[in-house]
Structure 1
């Protein structure tokens, strides 16, 4: 059995060897060997309690710079306790589609050109008091989940979406229609037969 360390273990070892030193996101991505490095950093900080700070915590740091302040863990660590049932419910409720950008699982993502991978994300992040209840969870693609970084976007209402769709060129409107028919085939068939 292969015992190669995962990206989180690689990042942890690297940061522990560089306690108190400023490291940038490019170096962390290189160490992790994964595009998921940001998520692993958040796991180390939030779930394992490592005191990893960024420009949001200290004004002398630039965006993309990180410091592991101490090798000692803080008490703010928490565990993710999302049950398989809750996970399945959220995936089904959200139609296996990213609730921020609308890309479906497996579709080629327009921002990175790879098949979209879905992840559960918190509406209100656990670091800000959010829970693992289904009402506080949403399905996000990995691109949006990485970019969300504790941001909560206001979802547009149906009128706003309709206004934007009406303003779009015919080609775009037809693409939206095709996507809706593909996403809701039963409903589309019922509407066509009535």
Structure 2
């Protein structure tokens, strides 16, 4: 009988510790012989199989190096290939001005929900399990908070006309805040 791989050992360890905070050292030890791969295996469980593994990026109650499987693992294990290349990721970030396309935060800003510095991720406009593709037209930059909240519920990117209508409807203080934000973002650039 073949010994379970590092991913399976981590899977079993986390399933036995649902709701308990575990450390990166415990996960590394659970992985066994492939100690250099434990972080990748945790990420695969989280991203490819839908496990609700929280880190300090998701919860202010967790410190760096702490993990929490917040609920029992899903019965159905959805698997997707890792199709977003570094080049495509760079294109999305550049096109989106290194700005979250839902809330407007940029890397280094303080997220008002988590009180942590913003990190950008690449998110799908139409989620993969709903048929979305790993292509430039279906990807956008999202901060951690928006990316976690956006799964399977977000629609298409708003149109220019819709955005302008919202700004026109807003009060003068809100319009001024939008102007100041756009001025800061684009400065004296000719559009």
Superposed, 1:57-68 pairs within 5 Å as 65-68=71-74
If the length of structure 2 is used for normalisation, what is the TM-score?
0.63
Which 4+ stretches in 1 moved above 3 angstroms?
A: 9-12, 30-33, 40-43, 64-70
Structure 2 CA distance, aligned partners of 1:113 and 1:162? 30
Asked if 1:14 corresponds to 2:20, the answer is: no
Give the total of aligned pairs.
150
Asked if 1:98 corresponds to 2:100, the answer is: yes
Structure 2 CA distance, aligned partners of 1:103 and 1:83? 23
Asked if 1:142 corresponds to 2:148, the answer is: no
Structure 1 unaligned residues grouped into runs of 5+: 1-8, 34-39, 54-63
Residue by residue, what CA displacement relative to the aligned partner does 1:125-165 show, whole Å, maximum 9, x if unpaired?
Answer: 22233222222211100000011122222333223322322
Tell me what 2:62 maps to: none
Q: CA deviation at 1:68?
A: 4.6
Q: 2:165 aligns with which of 157, 163, 166?
A: 163
If the length of structure 1 is used for normalisation, what is the TM-score?
0.62
Structure 2 unaligned residues grouped into runs of 5+: 1-8, 25-40, 53-69
Structure 1 CA distance, aligned partners of 2:93 and 2:151? 20
Change (3 A) 1:32 1:123: farther
Structure 1 CA distance, aligned partners of 2:97 and 2:126? 21
Structure 2 CA distance, aligned partners of 1:86 and 1:170? 39
Tell me what 1:129 maps to: 131
SS at match of 1:114: coil
Contact 2:125 2:157 in 1 (8 A): no
